[in-house]
A and B are shown apart, each in its own frame.
Chain A
Amino acid sequence: MPLDTSTTYPLTKLRLDGRRWNELRLIQAQISTNPASSGSSYLSMGNTSIMCSVHGPAEGRRGDASGTAGGAGAIVEVDVNVAGFAGVDRKRRAGGSDKQSSRIATTLRSAFQSHLHTYLYPHSTISIHVSVLSADGSLLAAAINACTLALVDAGIPMPGLLTSCTAGMSGSASTPRDPRNDELDPLLDLSLPEEQELPVLTVGTTTCVPVGENNMDEEEGEMKVAVLTMDSKLHCTYLDTMLAVGIDGCNQIRELLEGVIKGSSRA
């Protein structure tokens, strides 16, 4: 058994993989990795690596009920596939998707459905395929980042980059904060062993909101939280700290992804 965060972090302020509390894992990304699709990307955050490809906007399938519903704008379809070899245990799935991947798919769909300028493509479908090659924590966050890159590669208009990151809280986060002891130990960008041990919050932010039919004009440079999910139990007094840490992480990631996009267009 290796050590765990809850015992060693308070002693050394170092996490299981040697990071400090506010450090991201190593992020590497490329776009246009798959010439056969409209847009594609490969992104790794630490040992979590994800391939994403985007097809469309294309004409909606005929006879599809959503074809009529999509009259106002494009429909975003997301399909998430976690490879059998992605986790620690090799899983052999008999087709279909499991609970985890369908939850990620749902979150991605609703995030990008509202984020993209879909009204530009009525009666059409944008389909996103996400393949998780290896899963080592912050899966949803990595998937959001990979999708953003692939959508940019596909040239689908969006108001800004939607980037995402996780934040956790070390210590006994299920009881209210002790008012006399104001020290908190938030952590940024959690790896799998940390995710299994601590409460995790996934935050996704974007630089501005879509100017859709609602015509909401917002000031440039203002940030909005677009995605916020958490599955674990946490006392509400810790939430704002975690949110702040997560948003800060999203900004760091945004700069990185912008670098990737600009770098690739120059090349």
Chain B
Amino acid sequence: MKSLRRDTSSNPQAANVTSKVFVRSTKSGKVQKIVRELYLRQDIPCSSKLCALCPSVAPADANGNIAPFVLSDRPAGTKAFPRGHYLVPDTNALLNGMDLFEHTGAFYDVIILQTVLEELRNQSLPLYNRLLSLIKTDEKRFYLFFNEFRLETHVRRGPEESINDRNDRAVRSVASWYEDHLRVSVKMSKKEKSLPAMVVITDDKDSIRKAKAENVTALSLADYVAGLEDSEKLLDMMSEAREARDTKGAAQGELFYPEYYSMSKLMTGLRAGNLHQGVFNVSPYNYLEGSIKVPAFDKALLILGRDNSNRAIAGDVVVIELLPKDQWKSPSTKIVEEEAVTKNDNPDTDETEAVVTDRERKALQEEVKQAHGKNSEGKPQPTAKVVGVIKRNWRQYVGHVDSNSTASLSGRRQQTVFVLPMEKRVPKIRVRTRQASDLIGQRILVTIDSWDRDSRYPTGHYVRSLGELETKGAETEALLLEYDVQYKPFPKSVLDCLPAEGHDWKVPVSKEDKGWIGRRDLRDLLICSIDPPGCQDIDDALHARPLPNGNFEVGVHIADVSHFVKPNNAMDLEASVRGTTVYLVDKRIDMLPHLLGTDLCSLKPYVERYAFSVLWEVTPNAEIVSSNFTKSVIRSREAFSYEQAQLRIDDPSQTDELTESMRNLLRFSKILRQKRYDAGALNLASPEVRIEAGDEAGDPLTDVKTKAMLETNSLVEEFMLLANITVATKVYDSFSQTALLRRHATPPPQNFEDLINQLSKKRGMELDVSSSGALANSLDRCVDPENPFFNTLVRILATRCMTSAEYFCAGAHAESEFRHYGLASPIYTHFTSPIRRYADLLVHRQLASAIGYEGEDGHAVIEGVSTRGKLEDICRNINFRHRNAQFAGRASIEYYVGQALKARGEKMAAGGTDTGIDEEGYVMRVFENGVVVFVPRFGIEGVVRLEDFVLPGESGVYSVTERRELAVHRTTDFDSEEYTLRVSEKNHAEKDRSVQVELFQRVKVNVSSVKEEGRGAGKRRVRVLITG
């Protein structure tokens, strides 16, 4: 009988088929052996523009296109390679120096091997993605060469060869093939061209040695970079992780931190319930105190001190173990700031370095003293320690070099400096640099590479400089980077998705046009929009008109963004990544390109626009009879600002139809609002101020305004809420699994414990948190007749006890969990701002499909909103973006206020002394060594330290340094149960020489902007002095 084995003799092609065998293990622990065929070929081009051979063999793809050749015929050279060079990095070089490869000053004409790409993917997915996007951009001329498929460069693993050695060999064989290939092909072209050198970049010493033997040029990444111009800057961008490990291994330094448990021990512990997993959080007031919320307990667990937090950084997903009861402690009542305690640490690793310095220990000790109080704040709470890290959430951090940590300012010697991140909750980062002198006074971007057991601080490397501290450009970019806002201009692929007509796009005149299919003509309705002054992206417009039967028709018209943004094209994907438009004081980072946001979609007055309308029939008592949804064409009659609309409504001489319609809307909105409050909706407060960019000459502080609430504000708000709720119901009816909704979870009562305690102690008031209605009522009762702001203060504090609202898809929660706590609505979504929120855009698509809108081409596609998995990914992203956008907006206002105060201070200083501004403030929190004061005028919270209390008999203002010296002489008397703090001078405890403050107290403060030395540098701390 014949053998059935594959017979390769008869088939000439068969010689080129080989196979790749590898073993992988699955999640469940199975080991799989995988065999794959490899078809070796000779038509993979070298992609060099020098080559005369490859263009003739390069094959076309299915559309007959031949990929353009990437590598330049005149590659850049260095001193060592005057004829230019092509780079062939190996995996380690990319792992250590991805920031370098992305740098625009060097690293052009790079050949990325398939072998390297695959290995990189196994080692680090984020780096792999960054490399892929590098390959896709044309400027950097990165060419992905599939070496494993090219007959000449395919390398078979030897019997005793490790996979790393084999891959290194593959890299070298490609380099030598390229060299031979180019020599031959350039000779053929008969043109006088100089051959570029092939340079292998590898950090493997063994590979460099072998390369020498094989006559291949190979350099380590550091050696190569050293030969470039401004090498110092570039060398700083190399990852520290590897280098550090090499040197440390030899020195065998002291180990400061306990070792993490092994992965299997963690997994067993988690499964058994002995260990818990959660996200590590650091207190903004005390960098040594972390907390972690785990599902097993109602209240967050405390993690105190460096030892216990064991190299976790805020945001990391960690595994913790509970500590025995005798180590339980109360949460800190002290403000502890890193730079104050560890100011004198030496960035160069000392042998004497201890994890917990004496000063830190002292800071902790004092807290333990408080541990045995009687009330809930003083009661010891369960504490835990970190025993493992599941996932690091390190990102790039914006910060600046601590000028105290630099040794010499002039030399070009490499030295280690501390970088203080802007984010207070991140520890300082140790960075090695050769350009310390240049970096001082700059906003820089750094990334953390590692945090080893033998190092007190994490080690990182410099990425790039954003510019000088306190310059507008640098600070704005810093802010955007900190909050991960995508601020790059829209790429061409996105702009290509815009309508070709540009600003000249118009609603088609002929109703036969396909744009009119499925649209109602609502152009004759008297529609107007009401927005903040200067608003360009008008999302919504309204109308109301009486019906013959005595009822009214009320309509909310929303910009029809989904008409312009088709699912899954480049613009849609970009918008889904951005998630939301971000509003900064002087800048808006759009979710959609300008053309759509401010023109084609924007419901501008006097022009026809596509809209998505929600129409209700309501009785004169605002009872809703029916609701209806339709795509439409509208023409807004007027775009009002809130003030203008208010004036027009209040002006009795205006009796035209448009004004009447607005008056009707206002009347309905008041009824709706009352109904909502009756149902238990909360009236929450946030410390918001708005900046109205005024003229340059005036006092910038006058631009800072607290948000005024006009009746027209709530008019718009009420109808938007109504539209959102109506749409949510409709969408959920049609898509019970995939409807995109928004929920606000009922906060657990223990969140309010502290606040309830404080209120009953200080004011004898009660807060009923059993339901949102009860809470709303009890909040209404929290009124202090002498202190009109007190109620708002309590509302701000109550808001902070709640969870934040989130997007979700209907299938992810039970229907009873859909509730929106704050609005007291059983179901809610976002529909009314599709220009600035991606969620609304998705809801538009879902609603269009729910009402059977077919679209222009006869089949509206809701692909992408119909698969739940994908939708959940989108929800996660937009929740994250939404939150960050809020933070970024607030930070921007804070920065602006600081700058405004600074500008004022400088003006004052020119004409005399800077005396700051006297304002009113309210005590929000009391610590043992300071208080937190809220200043409503500027919407800022300031930490008031000991030295910032102006004691009776002291003359007003001192300079920062003078005041700092005061702190040493001061002593405090802190009562954690009564929430009072008495500050006095040491040895002078007499009542008349001291200041006592208590929670919720109104205090006189003096606000000024001072240059801060420590971590806030450049941000300008707003200093608050308590003057009485």
Contact = CB atoms under 8 A, between A and B. Distances in A.
B955 interface: no
B563 to A, nearest CB: 16
A185 B32 contact: no
Q: How large is the interface on B (under 10, 10 to 19, 20 to 34, 35 or more residues)?
A: 35 or more
Say whether chain A's binding surface is mostly helix, strand, loop, or mixed: loop
Interface stretch (A11-19, A140-148, A158-166): A11-19
Contact of B6 (A20, A23, A44, A174): A44
A23 B132 CA distance: 26
Nearest to A28: B6
Contact of B30 (A3, A23, A89): A89
A90 to B, nearest CB: 10
Interface stretch (B11-19, B273-281, B930-938, B967-975): B11-19
Nearest to A172: B568
A21 B62 contact: yes
A265 interface: no
Interface stretch (A68-76, A112-120, A176-184): A176-184
Interface in B852-868: 859, 861, 863-864
A37 interface: no
A96 to B, nearest CB: 24
Nearest to B58: A13
Contacts of B4: 30, 33, 42, 51
Nearest to B112: A11
B61 interface: yes
A33 B861 CA distance: 52
A47 B37 contact: yes
A185 B40 contact: no
A193 B36 contact: yes
Given A11-B135, A14-B44, A89-B32, A26 B17 contact: yes
A21 B567 CA distance: 27
Q: Which of A12, A19, A184 has the most chain B CB atoms closer than 10 A to its own CB?
A: A12
A46 interface: yes
B907 to A, nearest CB: 56
Given A17-B36, A28-B7, A178 B569 contact: yes
Nearest to A192: B36
A184 B135 contact: no
Interface string B471-507: 0000000000000000000000000100000000000
Contacts of A229: none
A189 B11 CA distance: 19
B63 to A, nearest CB: 5
A3 B118 contact: yes
Nearest to B45: A12
Given A17-B37, A184-B62, A30 B861 contact: no
Q: Which of A1, A14, A172, A182 has the most chain B CB atoms closer than 10 A to its own CB?
A: A14
A160 B668 CA distance: 78
A100 interface: no
A196 B377 CA distance: 57
B191 interface: no
Contacts, number: 104
Nearest to A23: B39
A18 B118 contact: no
A41 B870 CA distance: 45
Contact of A17 (B7, B32, B38, B117): B38
A13 B67 CA distance: 8
A2 interface: yes
B201 to A, nearest CB: 21
A201 B201 CA distance: 44
Given A89-B32, A175-B568, A12 B62 contact: no
Interface string B535-564: 000000000000000000000000000000
Given A3-B114, A172-B568, A178-B569, A18 B148 contact: yes
A16 B39 CA distance: 9
A1 B863 contact: no
Contacts of A26: 11, 13-14, 17, 37, 39
Interface string B122-160: 100000000010011000000010101100000000000
B59 A20 contact: yes
A12 B144 contact: yes
A14 B121 contact: no
B934 to A, nearest CB: 50
A94 interface: no
A22 interface: yes
Interface residues of A, number: 45
B41 interface: yes
A148 to B, nearest CB: 18
A81 interface: no
A25 interface: yes
A65 interface: no
A186 to B, nearest CB: 6
A88 B26 CA distance: 11
B144 A8 contact: yes
Interface string B46-79: 0000000000000101110101000000000000
A17 B30 CA distance: 24
Contacts of A17: 36-39
A22 B136 contact: no
A184 B44 CA distance: 21
A191 interface: yes
A185 B61 CA distance: 8
A7 B117 CA distance: 11
Given A1-B122, A26-B11, A33-B2, A88 B37 contact: no
Nearest to A32: B2
Interface in B19-33: 19, 22, 24, 30, 32-33
A28 B13 CA distance: 11
Contacts of B80: none
A20 B146 CA distance: 12
A172 B132 CA distance: 18
Nearest to B34: A88
Contacts of B146: 8, 12, 14, 18
Interface string B561-589: 00000011100000000000000000000
B861 A88 contact: no
A267 B550 CA distance: 97
Interface string A26-45: 10101001010000001010
A46 B37 contact: yes
A122 to B, nearest CB: 35
Contacts of B65: 183
A141 to B, nearest CB: 16
A245 B65 CA distance: 17
Contacts of A172: 568
A184 B61 CA distance: 9
Interface string A79-108: 000000000110000000000000000000
A7 B132 contact: yes
B251 interface: no
Contacts of B340: none
B35 interface: yes
Given A11-B144, A17-B36, A26-B37, A182 B63 contact: yes
6 contacts: A8-B114, A22-B62, A25-B39, A26-B39, A44-B6, A47-B37
Interface of B: 1-2, 4, 6-7, 11, 13-14, 17, 19, 22, 24, 30, 32-41, 44, 59, 61-63, 65, 67, 114, 117-118, 121-122, 132, 135-136, 144, 146, 148-149, 496, 567-569, 859, 861, 863-864
Given A18-B146, A191-B36, 17 more contacts: A2-B22, A2-B118, A3-B117, A8-B146, A11-B144, A13-B59, A14-B44, A18-B149, A20-B59, A21-B62, A25-B39, A33-B2, A33-B4, A42-B4, A47-B37, A172-B568, A193-B36
What are the 10 A-B residue pairs with the smallest beta carbon separation, nearest first?
A: A18-B149, A18-B39, A13-B61, A175-B568, A17-B37, A183-B63, A88-B32, A21-B62, A14-B146, A42-B4
Interface of A: 1-3, 7-8, 11-14, 16-23, 25-26, 28, 30, 33, 35, 42, 44, 46-47, 51, 88-89, 136, 172, 174-176, 178, 180, 182-186, 191, 193, 245
